[in-house]
Structure 1
Amino acid sequence: MRLTSRWVGMGAMAMMAALAAGAQSLPRAQQTAIDAVFQDFNTRTPGCVVGISEHGRQVFARGYGMASLESATPLTPASVLEIGSVSKQITAASIFLLQQEGKLSLDDPAQRYLPGMPVYAHPLTIRELLHHTSGVRDVIQLMQMSGIRTNDFATMPDALALIERQRALNFPPNTRYLYSNSGYVLLAEIVRRVSGEPLSTFAAQHIFQPLGMRHSQIVLDHRLVIPGRTRTYAPAPGSGWRLEVSPWQQIGDGGVNTTVGDLELWAANFWRPRVGGARLIQQLETQGVLNDGRTIAYAGGLEVDQYRGLQRIAHGGSWQGFRTQFTLFPKPQVAIITLCNVASADPALRSRKVADVILGDQLAPEPVPAATPTLSVAQLRAYAGWYWSAADYDLRQVSVDGAALRLRQWPGPSVRLQPLGQGKFRAAGDTLVFQPLARGMQLRLEATGELLTRQPAASGNAAGTHALVGRYQSPALQVSWTVAQDSKGLLLRAFGANPNRLDTDHSYPVRPAIAGVFIAGPYLLQFDGASLKVSAGRAEGIRFRRVTQ
């Protein structure tokens, strides 16, 4: 059912009053259908708060589950939750507002404002930090590799120092897209240096206060007492729940604490801009363009795509047990905000289900799945093997599982490939194309254009592995790791920054995958005699030098 438009040119105070009132103007049938989306939450579970607005006016707001299991406090539209990476659009807006004031340009070298950053072989700009095309290694990945756990105390200066120690990038700027929290930590520091105020103060004065977002703030100190803030949980092993708490104190990539009502005020600024004008909204929605001309989905702290025929502007967030989703549909001027305090919530999926309920007759029909081609086991085996891209540090394994193919991007989980015909398969929102070569096979990922070439599998008892034994140091991570050999083979011992703390010492069997590339737990390893290169997720090619054998 289509939502009824009731925007009548309210002034700012009237708009805030309408949102605060939490009026429920959706038809009862739609409210019941939305309740069903969250029916798994109750007085014994954490849960979610959902807020829906049309043309800047709240039409639905409701909490499901508990804000605190300890105190039996329910979640309500007034509950304050941390929104994780949904915060990135506030950081981006702060940069754009400084640009409007003439205090910076998006094409300025980032090092102009960040003197501690290395000067790389290729220029690095503010625009590339915004679009995740900078190549800067991800700070969360770097902290984990340094042995800093999420329940350790880590400050903003700690995060900046770790980023600044990276003498190399994942890739030359603007040649690839790879999500990196580091870019937004650096943008927060640029705001501080350019404006003379921390991001928390700048956003409060230039965004939150002008829009009447009275329950919103960027929180740097986790010890701060915030009225109405919820606890955060994850499923405990076996059954029940455990608290998820992190004392990390970095902002820019996250840090905003807010309510669904305040985020609806921010969403209303997209339809009737009061902060930053139409220019700010245009910049937030402008997608990045790579050097080769390809347009990426990521814009200014938001992603732009299509959902069942409607343009969608959205971003998700994940930190501690908080899981959040901010979704805008510009054509009907609808905002759906889902904030959850439990790690298993999947607010992106729930937000899509809510969109199906309230935008049903505006959405294109669900595509009818095409008939799936049937491939013989012999045909499937023709695609199996290891595929490698040295430029992207990307290792993937294609294997036959019964009557299907599975794809695993190491060190992640495997996914089932859906055959589409003519060497094409579908998996995880991307189309994969197998392309026979004169000698071998190539795998192309249509979403990014990345090419991986099939490689022969290494022997399980690859000769010469004893030469890899030794101790290796990383100046970038300030850690020492060792490769040892026992009766079962090679073993990687990854020590954290504090070698006296046993819980930062992890050991992983090392096994060869293809020539020169090894797998050890969450890491890909490449040895070249005097050094070791380690890649993990969003941090690629970190060099360790051998110090002993």
Structure 2
Amino acid sequence: MKTNHKVLYSSTLFFFFVTILIAQEVKTKDIDAIFSEWNTLEKPGMSVMVMKDDKIVYEKGFGSANLEYDIPITKNTVFHVASVSKQFTAFAVLLLEKDGKLSMDDDVRKYLPELPDYGKKITLRNLANHSSGLRDQWDLLRMSGIRLDDVITQEHILKLVNRQKSLNFDPNKRNMYSNTGFTLLAEVIEKVSGMSFADFTKKRIFEPLGMNNSEFYDDHQKIVANRAYSYKVRDKKFIKSTLSYATVGPTSLFTTAEDFGKWALNFQNPIVGDMSIIRKLNTRTKLIGGSETGYAMGQFVGTYRGIEVVVHSGSDAGYKAYFARIPSHNLSIAVFSNLSTIDPVDQVFTIANLFLEGKFPKQDASKKEEIVVHDPSMFIKLSQKQLSKFLGEYWEVDEKYKRKVLLKNDTLVYYRNEKSETRLVPTDKNKFKMMKDPNDVDVVFEKNDQGIKIMKVSINDRKPIKFVAFGNVNLNEYLGTYQSKELGTSYRITIKKGKLTLEHQRIRDIHFDPINKNLFVSKKRAIQELKFLRNKRGKVIGFKASNNRVKNLVFKN
């Protein structure tokens, strides 16, 4: 009997495509299930895009783009994606470098000479990978009394940045997230291209990719069709969360899930730019000394369950966004939301799990963490009186957390919480080893030049972690009005409810807890730390204010 190979081939091909379609239908239902609670016009929601193997395999909207008019979110709903914007700004600068118009190693003052001269070269690369040391614009605005739902313009930010006298650190010494760098990159792009940043990105990125519903929003009064409005929750009810930015570079990209699919595809098969630009965009920052950070240009590069991922989040007002690329599996996922309480990170990786099931590297669970064993001959005996000098509460200066040193059964104990404490055994009068730890940890007690007790914890000969001891204070010696020339504003220090309190006419009072006579801390984001300055007679003459992204901004009375 003669076999009809054409029929067999056609049948095989038919079943192959049917299998793919069934598998895809299963994944579609699984993704739908992740967002099922948002499939209603009674709530804000999100728009979702999944790209796999150079194809957009999922685009869908859930919830309401506008609660006042019951407008549903679709794949074409326009979202403000906040800091996800940064990768476009970095990409735009790299396009100009490819054109021969600039170099990422150029000094930013070559293009923006009006910027303060800090005596250190700050390169465009430093701006793009958060190693510039520049104070963050949003935190400077908060400290100056500006609310982030005020109208904030590019000019407003640049005037504030140009008044700064100091950096958080020397360029390329550290990695600290700074939106300021991306505002300056947008300004450089305008100077070099002769076009507005919004026009340049439209001409060089959005139009060639067919991202017809994407733009950098540089006018807070501009009307945008199909825009999602943002919301937050108060007293279990949805309320408006206003955003009036007229500033671009680190934020203000308006885009859609459908458009973002085209951006995701460009990383695999570039229409705009080329693979050399994409490699530069993905390259992690190397600091002075050779250490590598997790930040590339406008993107974080890390791992998820053993697989490399390239990601960035965004959060402004009630808008939340998250974009993840998993290059080794040609998978990209974007989730954009218009509600501040939604966490798109979990949703993105829940989707990723559906596509990567069975493809994660196996973890070796058999390896046990070994503890460091010390030579007993290095230890000495100290009396209870000698050990008691080190007791008390200590504050970690950089990461801002508390530790205690206790005495139990004639032994010092490093106390983290009820479930985590470690014995300290002396090797000298003020030096100790942590016992039964997987690392070699030294703990040294000293006094600083103000006579305040400090504790230094060194792990495997790395740079010591510095703690300062808590101490008693007299709140009355700090009262007064303090001025910052860099912010163009002043604060008054008073005492309210037994706490040192910063008052400002534009923002809520900030209450501080004392660590010692020179250091106070708060839980508020605007100003988290006050380090007081004194003259030779010990009188308070000012303070240095810090938060997560602004360090040691000086106020004088």
1:256 partnered with 2:267: no
Give the equivalent residue in structure 1 for 2:58: 60
CA separation of 1:343 and 1:486: change in aligned 2, threshold 3 A: closer
Give the equivalent residue in structure 2 for 1:543: 554
Q: Give 1:423-502 correspondences, 5 Å limit.
A: 423=437, 435-437=442-444, 441-443=455-457, 451-459=464-472, 462-463=473-474, 465-485=475-495, 488=498, 490-493=500-503, 495=504, 499=505
- For structure 1, the residue ranges without an aligned partner over 5 or more in a row are 1-22, 374-381, 407-419, 425-431
Report if aligned partners of 2:403, 2:416 keep a CA contact under 8 Å in 1. no
Deviation track 1:389-409 (CA, whole Å, cap 9, x = no partner) reads 4xx5x4321366863359xxx
Q: Secondary structure at the match of 1:27?
A: helix
| Superposition deviation, residue 369 in structure 1 | 11
Deviation track 1:478-523 (CA, whole Å, cap 9, x = no partner) reads 1111123468353321x2xxx4xxxx14323333213521124532
Q: Letter of the aligned partner of 2:484 in structure 1?
A: S
1:403 partnered with 2:414: no
Q: Give 1:218-257 correspondences, 5 Å limit.
A: 218-236=216-234, 238-257=235-254
The match for 1:314 among 311, 321, 337 is 311
1:512 partnered with 2:514: yes
Give the equivalent residue in structure 2 for 1:411: none
CA separation of 1:81 and 1:510: change in aligned 2, threshold 3 A: closer
TM-score computed with the length of structure 1 as normaliser: 0.81
Q: Letter of the aligned partner of 2:502 in structure 1?
A: L
Q: d(CA) in 2 for partners of 1:269 and 1:421?
A: 52
Q: Letter of the aligned partner of 2:467 in structure 1?
A: R
Q: Secondary structure at the match of 2:208?
A: coil
1:339 partnered with 2:336: yes
Q: d(CA) in 2 for partners of 1:147 and 1:50?
A: 36
The match for 2:269 among 263, 269, 272 is 272
CA separation of 1:29 and 1:444: change in aligned 2, threshold 3 A: farther
Where relative contact order (Cα < 8 A, 6+ residues apart) is larger, the structure is 1
| Superposition deviation, residue 423 in structure 1 | 3.9
Q: Secondary structure at the match of 1:49?
A: strand
Give the equivalent residue in structure 1 for 2:542: 531
Report if aligned partners of 1:385, 1:454 keep a CA contact under 8 Å in 2. no
Q: Give 1:137-176 correspondences, 5 Å limit.
A: 137-176=135-174
Q: Secondary structure at the match of 1:209?
A: helix
The match for 1:288 among 261, 285, 288 is 285
Deviation track 1:79-122 (CA, whole Å, cap 9, x = no partner) reads 11111100000000111011111111111111111122111032
Q: Secondary structure at the match of 2:65?
A: strand
Give the equivalent residue in structure 2 for 1:386: 394
Q: Secondary structure at the match of 1:467?
A: helix
Largest Rg, 1 or 2? 2
Give the equivalent residue in structure 1 for 2:31: 34
Report if aligned partners of 2:442, 2:459 keep a CA contact under 8 Å in 1. no
Q: Letter of the aligned partner of 1:355 in structure 2?
A: A
CA separation of 1:509 and 1:60: change in aligned 2, threshold 3 A: closer
Moved more, 480-489 or 167-176: 480-489
Q: Give 1:159-238 correspondences, 5 Å limit.
A: 159-236=157-234, 238=235
Q: d(CA) in 2 for partners of 1:209 and 1:273?
A: 14
Deviation track 1:321-359 (CA, whole Å, cap 9, x = no partner) reads 111111111112111111111111111111011100111
Give the equivalent residue in structure 2 for 1:11: none
Give the equivalent residue in structure 2 for 1:351: 348
Give the equivalent residue in structure 2 for 1:88: 86
Deviation track 1:142-180 (CA, whole Å, cap 9, x = no partner) reads 111111112212211001111111110111111111101
Report if aligned partners of 1:383, 1:398 keep a CA contact under 8 Å in 2. no
Q: d(CA) in 1 for partners of 2:547 and 2:146?
A: 15
Q: Secondary structure at the match of 2:104?
A: coil
| Superposition deviation, residue 245 in structure 1 | 1.4
Q: Letter of the aligned partner of 1:290 in structure 2?
A: L
Deviation track 1:288-329 (CA, whole Å, cap 9, x = no partner) reads 100021111111111111112221111111111111111111
Give the equivalent residue in structure 2 for 1:12: none
Q: d(CA) in 1 for partners of 2:267 and 2:392?
A: 48
Q: Letter of the aligned partner of 1:452 in structure 2?
A: I
Q: d(CA) in 2 for partners of 1:307 and 1:510?
A: 38
Report if aligned partners of 1:26, 1:60 keep a CA contact under 8 Å in 2. no
Q: d(CA) in 2 for partners of 1:282 and 1:46?
A: 37
CA separation of 1:82 and 1:57: change in aligned 2, threshold 3 A: same
CA separation of 1:435 and 1:353: change in aligned 2, threshold 3 A: farther
Give the equivalent residue in structure 1 for 2:13: none
The number of equivalent residue pairs is 480
Moved more, 362-371 or 123-132: 362-371
Q: Letter of the aligned partner of 1:519 in structure 2?
A: V
